[in-house]
Structure 1
Amino acid sequence: MQRLPDTSLTVALASGGRDHFGWGVDRYLAADLYDALNVNTRATGNWPKGKAPKFPAWPRPAARAKKKTAPSDKPKRVGVADIYKKFTRR
């Protein structure tokens, strides 16, 4: 599948589920901008007692956990001789 919009349901399901539906580059950028403004406000504000409040981050969909492969699951290295044997075996 190529050239699908990043906000499509197919891309969302491939990314981790329906929570990702509608989350394209523009929405991630807007959420990052919101968080950056909160960090800037927290860093430059004149807060009473010198303690800045904690601003919540914009909620984002959780990323799908990657499967860990066991060392025994690694494919065996194939050399040129092995490939030659497969093609000449008839």
Structure 2
Amino acid sequence: MEKEEHIAVLHSRRERVKAIEHALDSARTLEETLRVVKETLNTQLDSERAGRLADIRAADADGVPRIRIAREVGLSRGQLYNLIDDQKPAT
């Protein structure tokens, strides 16, 4: 290989490395953005679940049949009973 051919090969290799580094930087930025979105959504989910539990307990206290509550919130009766029973204070 001539000197100019070596230079051309080295230059093209440098450009490919730069392109890969740029793609990695973009992936890292996207990953950080997704992490923030995930944390935000998890916080919202926790808040909504706490509100749902309060609504379930209020409906149960007002005498709404548990089967109807379970159907409306999308839980099985067993899940609903466990959720309500787990939240009752120990006597």
TM-score by length of 2: 0.32
Q: Which of the pair has more CA radius of gyration?
A: 2
TM-score by length of 1: 0.33
Return the structure number with greater relative CO, CA threshold 8 A, min gap 6.
1
